[in-house]
């Protein structure tokens, strides 16, 4: 019973986030890495994928995909 709930929940999360996950993986294959940037206000439109917290009331991010500087 619990296994079914967990599998269903994971499928729902993946289904809702598929485009974000695919784009993030493509960028990571090109050298981008997740970087902790701390509490930062969201700049619109976002220049690179980020995990946005409180999208409606006070949008901010803690992690962002960035390309390492050469």
For residue 53, what are the domain limits? 2-66
* Residue 70, pLDDT above cutoff 70: no
β-pairing verdict for 50-53 and 60-66: antiparallel
Average pLDDT of the segment spanning 28-55: 82
Helix (H, G, I), strand (E, B) or coil at 13: helix
**Tally of structural domains, the chain:** 1
Average pLDDT of the segment spanning 31-43: 86
The reply to whether the predicted model has a pTM over 0.85 is no
* Residue 44, pLDDT above cutoff 80: no
DSSP designation for 46: -
């Amino acid at each position: 019973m619990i296994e079914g709930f967990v599998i269903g929940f994971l499928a729902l999360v993946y289904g809702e986030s598929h485009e974000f996950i695919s784009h993030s993986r493509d960028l990571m294959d090109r050298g981008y890495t997740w970087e902790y940037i701390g509490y930062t206000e969201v700049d619109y439109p976002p220049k690179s994928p980020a995990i946005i917290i409180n999208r409606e009331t006070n949008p901010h991010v803690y992690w962002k995909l960035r390309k390492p500087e050469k």
